[in-house]
Amino acid sequence: MKLIQIDNFFDSLNIMLPEIRKIKLHTQNTHEYKKSTWPGYRSNSLYTVKPILWNHVNAMMTKYEILDKCSWHINTYVHLRLDKDKNEDWIHTDHDSDFAALIYLSKTNLNSGTKLFDENENMINDVKFVQNRFVMYSARYKHVGYGHHGKNIDDGRLTLNLFIKKNK
């Protein structure tokens, strides 16, 4: 399995986090993209709602040489999952993408993270929720977020979710 993990991904997360928390979040009913389902709350694409943050994420991926030099389409969203969402997640794939990535934003919670599974749903990796950790994996891997926590954006499970597809 190919998995990329980078701790301390952003140089200045403490400066960025208050601005990220100001981004409007939507339920599935009010979100711009209605083809998929997910628990919790999600922003519209950062490309449209906060292009400077979208550019910064892409610049950091370039800095760490995460993707090869071909052309990629990257959709990035802020995603909040709260304690009340913990029973609403399920094992799934991100079938519309080549890779999926997360950047864990809120405080470290080792009872939270992302589990990856093989095709028979045997767990093959458990990535712990460590603040400012970037993790990327093939979107074909079955996975599930777990340990949703908190009551609001200040103490909930806050991530940046990236869906990455190679341009043809």
pLDDT of residue 114: 97
Torsion of Cα atoms, 40 then 44 then 45 then 50, to 10°? -110
pLDDT at 18 over 80: yes
Q: Which fold has domain 3-166?
A: Jelly Rolls (2.60.120)
Give mean pLDDT, residues 84-105: 92
Q: Where are the beta strands (DSSP E) in 26-82?
A: 41-42, 72-81
* Interatomic CA distance for residues 111 and 121, integer angstroms: 20
pLDDT of residue 34: 64
Structure tokens at 115: 């589990």
Does pLDDT of 21 surpass 70?
Answer: yes
Confidence category of residue 37, pLDDT binned at 50, 70, 90:
confident
The answer for residues whose C-beta is within 8 angstroms of residue 55's C-beta and 6 or more apart is none
How far out from the chain centre does Cα 134 lie? 9
Mean pLDDT calculated for residue range 30-40: 77
pLDDT at position 35: 67
The reported pTM is 0.94
Residue 1, pLDDT above cutoff 60: no
Asked if residue 69 has pLDDT above 80, the reply is: no
DSSP string, 88-139: S---B--TT-SEEEEEE-SS-EEEEEEEEE-TT--EEEEEEE-TT-EEEEET
